[in-house]
Amino acid sequence: MLGRVVESLSEFPKHTVMILTTAVIESYRSGMKKKAFEYASTLMRQEYRGDIPEKYKKKIESIVRKHKSTIEDPEEQATFSPYDSTVRVPVTELMCPTTRQEIPFCICTGYHVVADDMCICPNSKMPAIYSEYVSWIESNGTDPITDKPVNLSDVRRLSDPTDFLDSYNKIEEEQEEEGKKDSEK
């Protein structure tokens, strides 16, 4: 999810350095050294360099200096798109490449949902990967969004998520249309 935030840096101009610093450190820790290098290189630009926290400055400089161009990040896991069952999509990707529809993300993992393992949270009414949501409830007992108790008997795997997926994108389209109307006023 941090990668999604970095892709939208222009929306957080006051926090660019902190977001990039966090992205460098977390990417490096998770073995994504190529991504860490990309983010660190951005941080080393003149406009950001002076704002890097002293605590991380040497580490970030080291990542840029010692980068080996042959390093590749581990292959990201991919699952089938809930909109096109013939296409595998990286789990962190939220757009179906063939239908161009937004894929809902799981409230437990941040990964996109999959059609054959999907449920809706009984409290927040948000989508989740059923197996991940059940694991979350078994270990925490509460909804990850509202922090209200959840009874496992209330959680149901969707046998056909088509209606939910269709309504998900209709809501997105309606919100975009409202935003356009508001900006025209």
Structural domain harbouring 118: 78-184
* E strands, the chain, in order: 78-80, 88-90, 118-120, 127-129
Residues 111, 172 within the same domain: yes
Asked if the structure places residue 84 within a domain, the reply is: yes
Residue 12 lies in a domain: yes
**pLDDT of 9-23, one tens digit each?**
888 888 999 999 999
Same domain for 173 and 107? yes
Task: Examine the domain organization and report whether 178 and 98 are in the same domain.
Answer: yes
Distance of alpha carbon 13 from alpha carbon 85, whole angstroms = 38
- In terms of domains, do 106 and 141 share one? yes
Segment 65-114, tens digit of pLDDT? 887 776 676 677 899 999 999 999 999 888 999 999 999 999 999 899 99
Q: Is 39 among the domain residues?
A: yes
| 72 within a domain of the structure (yes/no) | no
Q: Is the pTM of this model over 0.75?
A: no
Whether the CB-CB separation of 9 and 19 falls below 8 Å is answered with: yes
Residue 70 counted as domain residue: no
Can you tell me the distance from the alpha carbon of 5 to that of 35, in angstroms, rounded to the nearest whole number? 14
Say yes or no: 172 and 93 in one domain.
Answer: yes
d(CA 118, CA 159): 8
Whole-number average pLDDT of the chain: 86
97 vs 54: CA distance, rounded Å: 41
